[in-house]
Structure 1
Amino acid sequence: MVDEREILPNTAIKSATLEGEAEAAYVERLYRILRGARLNLYYPDSRKLQTHVRCMSPQVHRGLYDGIAINLDSGLPTYREWTRVQTDVSIADEQLHKLGARRELERKARRSDEPIHQKLLKKHQYYSDIRGKELSPLGNMDVALRRVEHEKNTAYFHVVLDKLDASGLFVRYSIDLAQTSGAWNKQVVRLDEETAEHTEEFQSLIYKFTSLDSEFTFAKLAGLGGLSVERVAKGTVGPIYLAREQAPAALSHLFDGDDAFVAMFALDMVANDIAEDRDNDPLDVAMTEKMSPEAKQTFHTARERLGVRTFRDRKFVVPRRMVPAVREFCEAQGTKNIVYGV
């Protein structure tokens, strides 16, 4: 059994491997955190994330895998763990067909002490449990047509990008924009009657922004000819700090025991229907402060032209006993945040 505070050698990321009881406890805690966060549509699909995490449980895989690797910077499972489950779900039907009837596997497992028969039965049980499960996409973009104004040669779209970021965090970008036909020779969306499909160039463009915030994305999109941007929102799942040593200095004093944790879910948005700028994030710094002078000028020009404002927020999930302390911390920073206890 490997304690979750022990860091195993890993050249790519700072990670830890949990086994046995620690593995089961981590998966159950992560599931409860995701369920308790009550995420809205600006975040990655919470139910799919919960299902994905459940499939990592040793109660589900029955010891077929040796532990679970955790990205200590994000507090979430490593990319390898998410993709493992995706692969297993995709091949579940094929594997069940190869394994044959469960009743026959059970009969052989009862009659023989050979480990292979026990393993084959566990495989059948595992693939039966996960087959057909809807999991969280690790990289997917959808474009929906909202309306078309033919007299203006303009189409309005809603774009949603879900992605497991290189930082180990899950993010969702929600973008409302309008495209004027013919104004940009490389259109971001192809419109065919009532269907819409994003171009590869647009997908590549948005993917580059996933480690940045909504203001930076807005500034970049606003600089493209033929586009009018109404809203850019970014919802982030994580990081989840599992120990005092992993948490930033501003939060480390909140940890009051070995089972303490702080899970965070940030939301930042730039839109033309926000009444006034509001920063309700006790931790983050606006990305505009890190922009180049040219990008900052593009952003502010577009803000004035379109009348957009910025909103930032962050919700927390912590053990119930820590709720008062986290609320006091937020109040001391001048913010009022949602803090859920689990």
Structure 2
Amino acid sequence: MQREYDKYARQDGMNAVTREEFLGWKEKTKAMLIRLLGLDRMEMCNIKPIVAEKVRLDGGITREKVIIQTEEDVWMPMYILIPDECAGNSNAKCYIAMCGHQGGGKYSVAGCADIPQVKEAIDRFNYDYGLALAKQGCVAICPDCRGFGERRDMAKQGDEYFLEGTCYNLAHMAEPLGMTVAGMNTWDGFRLIDYIEERGEWDTDDIACVGFSGGGMQAMWLGALDERVKKVIISGYMYGFRDAHLYLNNNCSCNYVPHLWEHVDMGDIAAMIAPRRLIIQSGLDDHLNGPGGIDNVNKQVDIIKKAYSLFDAGDNIRHDVFPGGHMWHNEHLSEYISM
């Protein structure tokens, strides 16, 4: 498989040397990725938002539970953390905080530490970045992605699976139909932005998306394919496919898109975000970096930086490397917000 990868991988990578070449490559690549993800199979519907509950948290934050329809009869629950100063404030910064694995979906990201399993996940990964953003005065929208939290399929409905997901089951159903888990989650991200715009309560011209691990994957895809996202923060998810997904071949099914590797690497996908603001967090000893370690990450970041250089936008990309393993880092969060 590694030999096959070396023969056929990244045939359509980002090799532009002018801004015009980049824009032409991006348009062609976007159309190709939409097809590979199965986004052309998704169907629009009315969002039909439902406010299921409102809870007052410490620190002047209101937590709403909102449920929206992303496809016909497909519903996405989310927690929306609204600091008092952001209520009805059209200048309020709005962050979509995507969930990754082993955190129970929205519960860890929104900081529901009163649930013992969630507290363990927060302590392990610094998983409550949605709550951290709200404490910094930003609106944080923390959805359940497909297969996690309240959206787990029947295979893992028991309490013992609360932190786990059902991407494996979703992928086995979706891929024979020309669809993918990554595509379904990207579609749900599109619809979530539609909801933010329809609600019209906060700054819709500067929407940001943030995520750790599998949430970083979702942030990357959404930022690459939806220009309405003006800032992307990817933590624990930026490395070359060969080392991190082929050599380390026991990753979750949501990472794998048929025929993707033939066309692009991860850096090429993230390069499509240029020249919008992009922040990448990497752990120096993150096991998901693969056998190449941080060099595997840096090679992808170099691809991205090349795209930013075509726009003279080097100040819009930041790569922070932290000591330690696979986890989110809050150390520079206020700087990220002001970027």
Normalised TM-score (structure 1):
0.25
Structure showing the higher helix proportion among its residues: 2
Q: Choose between structure 1 and 2 for higher RCO, CA contacts under 8 A separated by at least 6 residues.
A: 2
Structure showing the higher strand proportion among its residues: 1
**CA radius of gyration, larger in:** 1
Normalised TM-score (structure 2):
0.25
